[in-house]
Each structure stands twice: as C-alpha cells, then as structure tokens.
Amino acid sequence: MLPYLSDATTRSALRHAWQASCAIYCAFGVRPAPKAAIEPPREDAAALIDAAIATGDEHAIKFTEACLRENALAPNDAYAAAARHAAGVLAPADVHVALRLGELAGVRRTRYRPRMLDGTTIEVSKAEPDGAWTLERELD
C-alpha cells in the first residue's frame, strides 16, 4: 500500500499504524494470565449453555459456543471462565415466552423464545433432563 501513498500520507499512516500496534499490545500483551489466577470452572458445558441462552443475548450465546469450541481444541479453564463471565454480565433478553415445557415426538423439551437485540426472535429447545440445546427456528 505504501508505494501508492504520498510521502505525507505515508508518514501519517505509519504513525497511526504504530499507535494502533501499541494499543493492541497494551490491551492483549504477550503473557497469558497465570493459571492460578483463573478459577477452575464449576459448571459443565451444558450449564454454561443454559446460562447463555437464559440471557437471551445473541452475543452471550455465540461467545459461549466459541469458548466451548476452542476449549475442545485446546483445553483451558479460561474458556469456561470467560463464558461464565459473559453470561453473568450481559443483560437478560426480552423473552416473550420465557419457558415452555412440552413434548415433541414423545420427548419432553424445555423451550425458550428469546428476542435478539436486532429484533429477531428465535426458538431454542433441549430434551429433558440433560439434552443438548438446539436452535429450532427463527421466527418473524
């Protein structure tokens, strides 16, 4: 990109790139947190998923899914701790049908219909007592 910029723009771009690099370094550093500083997870994956869905916040749900996926690839207590923290700080959803028990094909299921921040309503459910959460559908 630099060959296509004027000398003045190149100097400005390099100054801004240096500032951005410093900001990223300050935010993330190079050393991970000490293992002892991260409290081992008390919850299993199912409980973390339940907590994320209960918030109704699409970011909590996506973040928890990403943490669990990464933890499966490279186990680290930090992933569960991060998912637990996200579910604890994100606001509860505007849930119109907060909880509904019913049967589908003879299987008892718990269902939530959270409204996402973008206005989309989804329906998620899990087989009782210990089934996995599944996205049933998006509602209009």
**Dist CA 69 CA 122 (whole Å):** 22
Which tokens belong to 14? Answer: 């390099």
The pLDDT value given to residue 123:
77
Amino acid identity, position 47: A
Within 13 Å of residue 79, how many CA atoms lie on the same side as its CB? 18
The pLDDT of residue 113 is 73
> Could you tell me which residues come within 8 angstroms of residue 139 by beta carbon, excluding any fewer than 6 positions away?
113, 120, 121, 122, 123
pLDDT for the residue numbered 124: 78
pLDDT of residue 97: 42
Q: Spell out the per-residue pLDDT of the chain, length 140, in tens.
A: 777 888 888 888 888 888 888 777 777 666 666 666 677 778 899 889 888 888 877 788 889 999 999 999 999 888 999 998 888 877 665 544 445 556 666 777 777 777 666 777 777 777 877 777 777 767 66
What is the predicted pLDDT for the residue at 71? Answer: 93
Q: What is the predicted pLDDT for the residue at 98?
A: 45
Note the pTM of the prediction, 2 decimals.
0.47
pLDDT at 17 (0 to 100): 85
Residue 107 confidence (pLDDT): 77
